Structure 1
Amino acid sequence: MIKNSFISVIPQEEKEENKGSVEFQVFSFTNKIRRLTSHLELHKKDFLSQRGLRKILGKRQRLLTYLLKKNRVRYKKLIGQLDIREPKIH
């Protein structure tokens, strides 16, 4: 099994103090998404994990939309740090 190690974008002290922040939640969802994606590359027929991945993607998308509306500067910074594509907003 392939294990991916991800470099933490958020410093350790900040993680412990601010676990409820939008940035931390998006960061943790992004790590889960990357981990599930690598899992699904090995196990293509794991449909429950696919469903979980879609749910996490939706949660992250809602948080990013919220952050975009509240603070565009923090949104742009987070997108750049996590190397996430900007979604198409209708």
Structure 2
Amino acid sequence: MLKNSFISVISQKEKEENPGSVEFQVFCFTNKIRRLTSHLQLHKKDFLSQRGLRKILGKRQRLLVYLLKKNRARYKELISQLNIRETKTR
């Protein structure tokens, strides 16, 4: 249900559904990160899930850096919409 609401928000902006867009991919990764974080709070020694979480975090980070370079306005809007921190720039 949460996924469908986000798709409708994106589709209103772009006039078409595009599940391959950077925003949609970051949204899906953020949902996975939140689920894994809550799982790891219960199961502290689940090291395979910790590894998976780190991989997903890296993928999301790379997508956010790409979006920051391509379109700063869309990046700022996505960050505020998903309530995640800004990336550290080098």
Bin of the TM-score, shorter chain as denominator length:
0.7 to 0.9
Matched residues in 1 for 2:4 and 2:42: separation?
24
Percentage of pairs with the same residue:
75
Matched residues in 2 for 1:8 and 1:72: separation?
25
Offset at 1:17?
Answer: 2.1
Q: 1:74 and 2:70 equivalent?
A: no
If asked which structure has higher relative contact order (CA below 8 Å, sep 6+), I would say 1
1:48 partner SS:
helix
What TM-score does the superposition give when structure 1 sets the normalisation length? 0.85
- Aligned AA for 1:87? T
Cα pair 2:67 2:74 within 8 Å, conserved: yes
Matched residues in 1 for 2:66 and 2:3: separation?
25
What TM-score does the superposition give when structure 2 sets the normalisation length? 0.85
Higher helix share: 2
Across the two proteins, how many residue pairs are aligned to each other? 85
CA RMSD after TM alignment: 2.2
In structure 1, list runs of 5 or more residues that go unmatched. Answer: none
Offset at 1:66?
Answer: 0.1
